Structure 1
């Protein structure tokens, strides 16, 4: 079983923008264009997760994840999820002012989430939004 963390690929002309939140329409357009397969590895490294964990977040088997990571373009649904995860990783690093602190927080069980970790919820679009909302609360000092 292969569970190593992906090494980030070199940025390409179609790379996911780092540090910029996409508008809803930009997100839709980028998703429909499809991301380059290697972007999945880049985003996995931002989240400090293994390929097995990334496959789970994308609701895929590890074999499918590996096959898609080598593909030219990803489908719209996978691209959308990756774009949202990228935005979340960038936002989390901004809120915590450190990528490492953010990725450690992702693995910490939270009472607010019924003792689940934020990472446990990132396999659904609703979970991604919930984690994003919690980050907003932390950023503005209303986290309870």
Structure 2
């Protein structure tokens, strides 16, 4: 038998297979950019954004949001102020989302697009989101449950772009 290191009865190959796959940064960045592409017209045109909100985004937008943000379903449900079972129903459904959910999701996509632009890396932005920021006196991740909170975080990213950190 090969000299495999055994841990809890699993070979190293089986242990590796049981861990989630972590994408290399460039692959994650390309995936995020691909997922954000259909929503970019809403970031550039307020009228296009308004039209999408009034029509309602496809329920696929929630799946895209999960993939772009890397957040858990618990986090996304909290941000969108819905229960986890309701979130799962939206993910499995084929109906358009209501205006409130559509607007919130578009704002989150816009924030992540700006965060990737500001930090040059999806992982760097996600790390920044989870640390206390003295400029806004909060952890940015905790503000994503309201449109005003998203706006505060977006404004902080703009300040970072211009070098105004205090």
Question: TM-score, normalised to structure 2's length?
Answer: 0.73
1:46 paired with 2:68, answer yes
Any gaps of 5 or more consecutive residues in structure 2? 1-19, 21-30
1:129 paired with 2:151, answer yes
Aligned-partner SS, 2:58? coil
1:71 paired with 2:93, answer yes
Q: Specify the alignment match of 2:3 in structure 1.
A: none
Q: Specify the alignment match of 1:93 in structure 2.
A: 116
Kindly state the Cα deviation for residue 100 of structure 1 after the two structures are TM-superposed: 0.6
Structure 1 distance, partners of 2:120, 2:100, is: 30
Any gaps of 5 or more consecutive residues in structure 1? none
Aligned-partner SS, 2:97? coil
Structure 2 distance, partners of 1:62, 1:79, is: 17
Q: Match for 2:81 among 50, 59, 66?
A: 59
Deviations 1:105-132 (A, max 9, x none): 1111112333x31010010010010000
1:33 paired with 2:42, answer no
Q: Which has the higher contact order (CA 8 A, sep 6+)?
A: 1
Contact 1:43 1:82 (8 Å CA) reproduced = yes
Question: TM-score, normalised to structure 1's length?
Answer: 0.83
Structure 1 distance, partners of 2:142, 2:102, is: 20
Kindly state the Cα deviation for residue 70 of structure 1 after the two structures are TM-superposed: 1.9
Deviations 1:36-86 (A, max 9, x none): 112112112222210110000000011111111222211111011001100
Kindly state the Cα deviation for residue 87 of structure 1 after the two structures are TM-superposed: 0.7
Structure with the greater alpha carbon radius of gyration: 2
Task: Give the aligned CA root-mean-square deviation in angstroms.
Answer: 2.2
Contact 1:19 1:87 (8 Å CA) reproduced = no
Query: What number of residue pairs does the alignment pair up?
Result: 133
